[in-house]
Structure 1
Amino acid sequence: MKIPSPNKLSRGGTRTKSPPLTDISGESAIPDREKRGSNLDESHVPWVTWRSLLLGAFVSIGGIIFGYDTGQISGFLEMDNFKQRFAQLKPDGSYRFNNVRSGLIVSMVSGYRCMSLNDEAEGRMCVCVCVCVNLTPFQLSIGTLIGALLAGPLTDRIGRKWSIFFWCIILHIGLIIQISSPSGKWYQFMMGRFVTGFGVGACSLLVPMYQGEIAPRHIRGAMVCSYQLFVTLGIFIAYCINFGTESMENTASWRIPLGITFLWGLVLGIGILFFPESPRYDYRHGRVDRARHTMTKLYGIPENHRVIVHEIAEIQEQLDAEKGAGGGIRGWIEMFKAPRMAYRIILGVVLQALQQLTGANYFFYYGTVIFNGAGIDNTYVTQMILGGVNFGTTFGGLYVIEHFGRRKSLIAGGIWMFICFMIFASVGHFSLDIDTPRNTPAAGNAMVVFACLFITGFAMTWGPMVWAIVAELYPSRYRARAMAMATASNWLWNFLIGFFTPFITGDIDFAYGYVFAGCLFFAVIIVYFFVIEGKDKTLEEMDMMYVMRVPPWKSSKWKPPEPENRLTTDQLMDRKVAKKYTKEEQSAESTKHTEGVPGHSHAETADSGEDAGTGPSHFS
């Protein structure tokens, strides 16, 4: 096979020498001559340091903001004072939201109590309305979508941590608008949620990005997953606080929960200033010593350790390839034209959409009906049960992602949720008495069990892991813009599902679950054929795997080529060179199998043999 030389001409016509890839497996990737002349430290790399643990947990407060803001609005719609101030007074003396007002404040309105089902059309809507207890805010969803798109370009200019600080200020402005809304001024509350959405959406992009860039590779997945853990914690806290304030008869019932959001924003916005900037961002902007210092503190190893030296070399190589990168519209066009970037952008957008299409929120929407069938009448208790299961089982995801990898976990989780949804939908559609759930307690109990089992599977796999995969999917050159598009996809589908669910369920009730089951089946196929395993890989190695077209089902055993046999990052960014190199690699692999000649393979084993190892036991 003709291997491109590391001294091969790059696109700019200059000779580039490829630094060695990072390899923290048992054998070093550094040639012996480099070892003798560099005096690199080969000591043990700690599994986790207190600095990396503190940083990952603290920044995840951005997840609490997301979850808390999402969870509290559903409780507000049950509070008498909130309805008296912002809903419409009906002839019977009750307060209810009309379709226009409810559509502008939230995507659907929670029913306050089931009414007489005399009119068929009104009855169908009532069935939908009375079961929607975890609502997706319309204005928040649109605001978060816009915030996620705006945050990408801004963070490339001012940095990750200063962007988080800025968007926390925007978050607080939105909260002030909401809290100060006078009686009858429902549109002010609506606009407050819209502005708040900017901050929430931006943080949903920036926090996983910051975690993915700053975390040591062997805990990167768990650290990014902690964002989703804190999202579920925020939802659970909001449910508990709503339960404690809903009995108040004045504005304190909803203003106290809103005011507590200030606490999360202040802690994150001010606290982030005391943490370091992303080392990859620092390095790209000339702050090399600061980047190296940050990495040594987070890894818990000296600056001359081979892991630090190799990762710095990889960052420098990518930086060299990025010189001359376009900005503005030109930068967006260049991103789509870069090797395998259109593929990865579409994959990120699809994965974030599929996270919503798993149907997790659907279980919260129908929580009241199925828990009523089990004898639980209080909607706030229902919320706390579902929120508690969601939060508690997310801890398992932190273990699963680093011990079983991304691919296996997502595939297994998708199959598990598919089974749960099929049983849930079948029981609900054919056995449950929707009008009077207490008439069919066995069906209600079965649905409660499978709702909790589904949430367990989601919380341990698709909930946290999609954020981790998207955070490591793109090269640093395009990461902010590409992640902004993927995150916007999540919020767009969040809104679409939340907005259209009541209309669909009004016609087909629990058979709607079959739609989500079909989406889960499709999601498993997407993961198997398109998602590459990122366990124990650096972000730069992930980029190489996608450009080299490593088959996803073989990716868990992929090893980076030896330094003398690989392309530089600059060459990888050249579509023609990368394509030619990939063909030569595939040709050599085919020849090896045909002739039975032993040799090195960059993707030796099938996915069925994926390693489910026990973490970085090689860090010794």
Structure 2
Amino acid sequence: MVLFYARGVPIGYIAVMLALVASMGGFIFGYDTGQISDILLMDDFLQRFATCSDRAVASTCSFSVVREGLIVALLSIGTLVGALLGAPTADILGRRRAMQWECIVFIIGVIVQITTFHSWEQFAVGRLISGLGVGALSAAVPMYQAEAGPPQIRSMLTATYQLFITFGILIAYCISIGTRSIGGSGSWRTVVGIGIAWPLILMLGMQFMPESPRWLTRKGRLEDAKESLARVRGVPVAEAQDHWIITREIDEIKSSWEYEKQVQGGWIDCFRPRNKILYRTILGMALQSLQQLTGANYFFYYGATVFVSVGIQDSYVTQIILGAVNFGCTFGGLYIMQRYGRRLPLMLGGAWQSAWLFVFAAAGTAVNPRENKAIGELMIVSACMFIFGYAMTWAPGIWIIIGETFPTSTRAKQAALATAANWLWNFLLAFFTPFITRDINYSYGFVFAGCNLAGVIVVYFFLYESSDLSLESVDQMYVDPACKPWKSRTWAPPGYADRTDLIEQTRAAEAHKPLAGATTEHREKVSHDRGTIGNMTPEGGVPVRAV
């Protein structure tokens, strides 16, 4: 059933469900990220796993920086390994089945955590196991959404993953504030145990979602690939084999795959300079690293501890405020990345984030926030303003870029490497933050502010604008020697005046109506029958590269 039309092309309700169901992988990630900050402050958790002078009194208990760092950061080691394993797993089992198995791994990790009594090591190992599932999902979900979703709404679908991450963080905060008054271990076991529900929802939901048509085409299952596209497009499955839209997209995917399999490679090929493969591998890893270095997880992992240190009476409430800002502003991020592209939002967002981190750090270092309520409040406001910018730009933007930057031949492996870089820095920041803040306290914010400015520079000089292009067209843009990153916003393939012309010709082609201002070449193209349109991309634009 067709739900609506985007640029003249039908979008089925399955496309929306695909985004919502697959994004539960992001919700799992966010929930696991958000819960630990509050759990570390719960009385029973402190009495069981911290060092205490009197174990009956929680106020006498505290974690050493090493123990606290390991409990928080071992999740990230698991996610790092899981992200690297996620690519071959998704290639072998398919995107859907891989996600279902990764959910099982996550559930095993949760069970290990909630069955411990006095061993903090067991709890940390449970987080490590859960991390394996989270990391693999973080590689598989954006890839699945980019491949299975209609390109006309691709950035919206991929950004939904980030939206669900923020939703998971917020829900973790809300559940934590509700369970903190439960006596005994129920306070933290409930928070962790509820985490089993989210992968069960994802496992069940994926059972009803279509497989990636690109993966099916690679496996030679063209009939299944057509049915998959038909479901996403809202076209009756019975008409899938002959429908002009489905035929057009399958022809493009098939042609692209015929070319790509001639140069299909393994992990080593991700580091070959040919066709800017190495360039894009390094770029993806750099952007994912810089997303961590924005400083967002400083607040998500240790926010409750930070806000206690600035004199906030109820840090749980402050965490919820931050989580709500993060979640609510991500909706704006979905629109911004769809409307304004990739480069401009990331550059403006990086500058905005840097400015507010300077305010946060300067306020905290100038005056002791515990002795000055106004300074403490300023720090909370600056943290919220930082999260406001992050949620609108760098949070969804980087996941969109990872889903659409790499060529089909090495996409899964390059996405895994980029995501692994994210998790490596996630671990480093989670583990070393207690040590760093012990020595430099709020000056830590200056470090993150500088990293945000570095991100602006990287985006300006190295990232190509990929909005409004099909995955195959993005690949063509990167290998065009005449195209520079800072001029890529107007790039278009031969025969098009610029990106705007490409979009207008796309709409005209899909409506089967030539534009008055079109070039002679395009008037001829658009006036041809539907067979001509079959030579165009899923967005009606760039012809598939000749093979």
Amino acid at match of 1:44: G
Q: Distance in 2 between matches of 1:342 and 1:617?
A: 29
Q: Given the alignment of the two structures, is residue 151 of structure 1 paired with residue 68 of structure 2, yes or no?
A: no
Change (3 A) 1:103 1:428: closer
Q: Given the alignment of the two structures, is residue 215 of structure 1 paired with residue 178 of structure 2, yes or no?
A: no
Change (3 A) 1:326 1:472: closer
- 2:291 is matched with 355
1:370 to partner: Cα distance: 7.1
Change (3 A) 1:368 1:273: closer
Q: Given the alignment of the two structures, is residue 323 of structure 1 paired with residue 261 of structure 2, yes or no?
A: yes
1:367 to partner: Cα distance: 4.1
**Which of residues 339, 344, 364 is equivalent to 2:275?**
339
**Cα contact 2:270–2:281 (8 A) shared by 1:** no
Q: Given the alignment of the two structures, is residue 468 of structure 1 paired with residue 400 of structure 2, yes or no?
A: yes
Q: Distance in 1 between matches of 2:260 and 2:120?
A: 49
Tell me the SS of whatever aligns to 1:340. Answer: helix
Equivalences for 1:82-101 in 2 at 5 Å?
82-90=45-53, 94-101=60-67
**Cα contact 2:69–2:434 (8 A) shared by 1:** no
Deviates more, 1:191-200 or 1:68-77: 68-77
Tell me the SS of whatever aligns to 1:249. Answer: coil
Q: Distance in 1 between matches of 2:306 and 2:111?
A: 36
Q: Distance in 2 between matches of 1:471 and 1:420?
A: 29
Q: Distance in 1 between matches of 2:243 and 2:466?
A: 23
- 1:233 is matched with 167
Change (3 A) 1:141 1:367: closer
Change (3 A) 1:83 1:510: closer
Amino acid at match of 2:211: E
- 1:24 is matched with none
Q: Distance in 2 between matches of 1:344 and 1:86?
A: 44
Change (3 A) 1:281 1:365: closer
Deviates more, 1:465-474 or 1:89-98: 89-98
**Which of residues 43, 67, 79 is equivalent to 1:80?**
43
**Cα contact 1:62–1:203 (8 A) shared by 2:** yes
1:153 to partner: Cα distance: 1.1
- 1:119 is matched with none
Change (3 A) 1:88 1:503: closer
Change (3 A) 1:373 1:90: closer
Q: Given the alignment of the two structures, is residue 165 of structure 1 paired with residue 97 of structure 2, yes or no?
A: no
Amino acid at match of 2:277: M
- 1:382 is matched with 318
Deviates more, 1:462-471 or 1:290-299: 290-299
1:282 to partner: Cα distance: 0.7
**Which of residues 258, 261, 276 is equivalent to 2:195?**
261
1:251 to partner: Cα distance: 1.9
**Cα contact 1:405–1:533 (8 A) shared by 2:** yes
Amino acid at match of 2:186: A
Deviates more, 1:471-480 or 1:91-100: 91-100
Tell me the SS of whatever aligns to 1:250. Answer: coil
Q: Gaps spanning 5+ residues in structure 2: where?
A: 1-5, 497-518, 522-538, 542-547
**Cα contact 2:260–2:409 (8 A) shared by 1:** yes
Percent sequence identity over matched residues? Answer: 49
1:283 to partner: Cα distance: 0.9
**Which of residues 468, 486, 498 is equivalent to 1:536?**
468
Q: Distance in 1 between matches of 2:485 and 2:434?
A: 38
TM-score normalised by the chain length of structure 2:
0.84
1:84 to partner: Cα distance: 2.5
Tell me the SS of whatever aligns to 1:509. Answer: helix
**Which of residues 56, 65, 76 is equivalent to 1:141?**
76
Q: Distance in 1 between matches of 2:397 and 2:88?
A: 24
- 2:450 is matched with 518
Amino acid at match of 2:354: F
**Cα contact 2:37–2:302 (8 A) shared by 1:** no
**Which of residues 341, 346, 361 is equivalent to 1:410?**
346
Equivalences for 1:512-591 in 2 at 5 Å?
512-549=444-481, 550-562=483-495
Q: Distance in 2 between matches of 1:265 and 1:144?
A: 16
**Cα contact 2:69–2:432 (8 A) shared by 1:** no
Change (3 A) 1:100 1:451: closer
Deviates more, 1:316-325 or 1:483-492: 316-325
**Cα contact 1:373–1:445 (8 A) shared by 2:** no
1:507 to partner: Cα distance: 2.7
**Cα contact 1:368–1:377 (8 A) shared by 2:** no
Amino acid at match of 2:402: V
Q: Distance in 2 between matches of 1:219 and 1:423?
A: 37
1:324 to partner: Cα distance: 5.1
Tell me the SS of whatever aligns to 1:339. Answer: helix
Q: Given the alignment of the two structures, is residue 71 of structure 1 paired with residue 34 of structure 2, yes or no?
A: yes
**Cα contact 1:152–1:480 (8 A) shared by 2:** yes
Q: Given the alignment of the two structures, is residue 247 of structure 1 paired with residue 204 of structure 2, yes or no?
A: no
Q: Given the alignment of the two structures, is residue 49 of structure 1 paired with residue 12 of structure 2, yes or no?
A: yes
1:371 to partner: Cα distance: 5.0
Q: Distance in 1 between matches of 2:67 and 2:325?
A: 32
Q: Distance in 2 between matches of 1:528 and 1:252?
A: 49
Q: Distance in 1 between matches of 2:50 and 2:85?
A: 33
Q: Distance in 2 between matches of 1:386 and 1:194?
A: 26
Q: In angstroms, what is the RMSD of aligned CA positions?
A: 2.6
Q: Distance in 1 between matches of 2:302 and 2:68?
A: 18
Q: Show CA shifts across 1:210-252 (max 9, x none).
A: 1111111121111111111111111111111111111112221
**Which of residues 308, 313, 333 is equivalent to 2:251?**
313
- 1:122 is matched with none
Q: Show CA shifts across 1:25-78 (max 9, x none).
A: xxxxxxxxxxxxxxxxx99324x4322111101111111100111111222222
Change (3 A) 1:370 1:441: farther
Q: Distance in 1 between matches of 2:47 and 2:231?
A: 54
Structure having the higher Rg: 1
Q: Distance in 2 between matches of 1:176 and 1:503?
A: 30
Q: Distance in 2 between matches of 1:555 and 1:537?
A: 12
Q: Distance in 2 between matches of 1:74 and 1:469?
A: 29
- 1:293 is matched with 227
Q: Given the alignment of the two structures, is residue 273 of structure 1 paired with residue 273 of structure 2, yes or no?
A: no
Q: Distance in 2 between matches of 1:450 and 1:167?
A: 37
- 2:361 is matched with 425
Change (3 A) 1:88 1:518: closer
1:356 to partner: Cα distance: 0.7
1:194 to partner: Cα distance: 1.1
Q: Distance in 1 between matches of 2:344 and 2:246?
A: 29
Q: Distance in 2 between matches of 1:325 and 1:78?
A: 53
1:149 to partner: Cα distance: 0.5
- 2:134 is matched with 200
Amino acid at match of 1:68: Y
Q: Distance in 1 between matches of 2:25 and 2:405?
A: 21
Q: Gaps spanning 5+ residues in structure 1: where?
A: 1-41, 107-136, 564-597, 601-615
Q: Distance in 2 between matches of 1:227 and 1:539?
A: 18
Q: Distance in 1 between matches of 2:419 and 2:399?
A: 9
Amino acid at match of 1:241: I
Q: How many residues in Structure 1 have an aligned counterpart in Structure 2?
A: 488
Q: Distance in 2 between matches of 1:255 and 1:503?
A: 27
Q: Distance in 1 between matches of 2:53 and 2:495?
A: 75
Q: Show CA shifts across 1:157-203 (max 9, x none).
A: 1110010011111111111111111x222222222111111001111
1:256 to partner: Cα distance: 1.4
Change (3 A) 1:374 1:193: closer
